[in-house]
Chains A and B, each alone.
Chain A
Amino acid sequence: MTATLSLIFRIVLGGMFVLAGLAKIADPVRFLLTLREFRIFPDMLERFMAVTVPWLELILGLCLLLGLLTRAAALLFAVLTGGFTLAILSVIARGIKVDCGCFGMLADALKLPDTADYKAVIRNLLFLGMALFLLYAKRTRFSLEEYIRRRAAEGE
Chain B
Amino acid sequence: MKFAPLTASLDKKSMKKLLFEMFLILAFALCISLLYNMLSPSGLRILPKKRPAAISMHRTDHVPFYAHASSDAGWVR
Contacts and interface: CB of A to CB of B under 8 A. Distances in A.
B18 A72 contact: yes
Interface in A68-87: 69, 71-73, 75-76
B22 to A, nearest CB: 5
B4 A138 contact: yes
Given A52-B30, A73-B25, A136-B9, A47 B18 contact: no
Interface residues of B, number: 25
A54 interface: yes
A152 interface: no
A64 B18 CA distance: 15
Classify the secondary structure of B's interface with A.
helix
Contacts of B24: 69, 72
Contacts of B3: 2, 136-138
A2 B29 contact: no
Contacts of B18: 71-72, 75
Contact-residue size bin, chain A (C-beta under 8 Å from the other chain): 20 to 34
Interface string B4-44: 10100100000000100110111011101110110000011
A48 B21 contact: no
Interface in B38-77: 43-44, 46-48
Given A63-B25, A72-B22, A136-B4, 12 more contacts: A25-B36, A28-B44, A47-B48, A51-B34, A59-B29, A69-B21, A72-B25, A75-B22, A135-B9, A137-B3, A137-B4, A138-B4
Interface of A: 1-2, 5, 25, 28-29, 32, 47-48, 50-52, 54-56, 59-60, 63, 69, 71-73, 75-76, 135-139
